[in-house]
Amino acid sequence: MTQRLTGRVAAVTGGASGIGEATARRFHAEGASVVIADIQDDAGRALAAELGERALFVRTDVSREEDVAALVDTAVDRFGQLDVMFNNAGIMGALGPIDATRMSDADLTIAVNLRGVICGMKHAARVMKPRRSGVILSTSSPAGVLGGIGPHIYSAVKAAVIGLSNSVAAELRQHGIRVNTIIPGAVVSPMTAGVVADDATDLAGAEEALGRTALMGRPIQPADVAAGALYLASDDAAFVTGVVLPVDAGLTGASRPSP
């Protein structure tokens, strides 16, 4: 470890599982204090306890602005500041054809995956602007860029996250705050396991299924995405803002392999 985040304070939403968990672990290992934000109390508390010093779990439903405001305030009260806000919590939401969309499912997907990111950006900016420093990261998806690879509403809001992030990056650079988006490819996590293995706890099944279609020899792991998040969060990316970083084995940027 390079201790690239020593003295920094990071909040990670969706931090109890998958990409968020791996990122909380990596940020902590790199010297940051981490605030794990999630609706999974047991897993979030267990992770914070395992990490020990410099780690805290705050139950946060990102679709509720008051929860996100309290998350940010707790990070500042407990650790003195907020340097990195990772808006990563997400749900797959409704699957199926557009004409079968249940609007309650669509509303929930929008609330968690987009409203949650807006809340995170708003409250992170509130405490970062006076310090003229900070990094805001958000998780999009290849489904936000390419058609036909994700559920409709999920794809729509993941595209919106990119637009939001680029727009906010243009506003906040004058305040010394960098704003970037990460696009993970198909990652071995409970979310993916729920789709490809029909069981969110079957990570081995997900790994096997994703291994069969892996573009670069092995499935992408949450830690691979965490490494991208670390780069963007660190001073190595001091002048990197308004970018979309795919950690997706070239799914969105490179041409598709021949059939």
**Residues binding ligand NAD (CB under 6 A):** 13-14, 16-20, 38-40, 60-63, 88-91, 112, 139, 141, 184, 186-187, 189-192
Q: Give 32 or 206: the residue with its C-beta nearer to ligand NAD.
A: 206
Does the CA dihedral 235-237-240-245 come out positive or negative?
A: negative
Shortest separation between residue 233's beta carbon and ligand NAD, angstroms: 16
154 has catalytic annotation: yes
- d(Cα 65, Cα 67) in Å, to the nearest integer? 5
Q: Give 19 or 48: the residue with its C-beta nearer to ligand NAD.
A: 19
Return the number of other C-beta atoms located less than 10 Å from residue 231's C-beta: 16
* Radius of gyration of the chain from its Cα atoms, rounded to whole angstroms: 17
How is residue 234 written in tokens? 């660190």
The alpha carbon of 165 is separated from its chain's Cα centroid by a whole number of angstroms, namely 13
Q: Give 176 or 250: the residue with its C-beta nearer to ligand NAD.
A: 250
Q: Give 46 or 133: the residue with its C-beta nearer to ligand NAD.
A: 46
Identify whether the C-beta of residue 9 lies closer than 8 Å to the C-beta of residue 84: yes
* Residue 123 CB partners (closer than 8 Å, separation 6+): 65, 68, 69, 71, 72, 85
The C-alpha angle with vertex 191 and arms to 40 and 45, in degrees rounded to 5, equals: 20
Return the number of other C-beta atoms located less than 10 Å from residue 253's C-beta: 12
For strands 134-139 and 84-87, give the pairing.
Answer: parallel
How is residue 50 written in tokens? 């395992």
Q: Give 131 or 160: the residue with its C-beta nearer to ligand NAD.
A: 160
Shortest separation between residue 134's beta carbon and ligand NAD, angstroms: 20
Shortest separation between residue 81's beta carbon and ligand NAD, angstroms: 22
The residue annotated as part of the active site, out of 21, 117, 154, 226, is 154
Shortest separation between residue 133's beta carbon and ligand NAD, angstroms: 25
Helix (H, G, I), strand (E, B) or coil at 235: helix
Q: Give 83 or 224: the residue with its C-beta nearer to ligand NAD.
A: 224
Shortest separation between residue 7's beta carbon and ligand NAD, angstroms: 26
Shortest separation between residue 184's beta carbon and ligand NAD, angstroms: 4
> What 8-state DSSP symbol labels residue 101?
-
Q: Catalytic residues, which ones?
A: 154
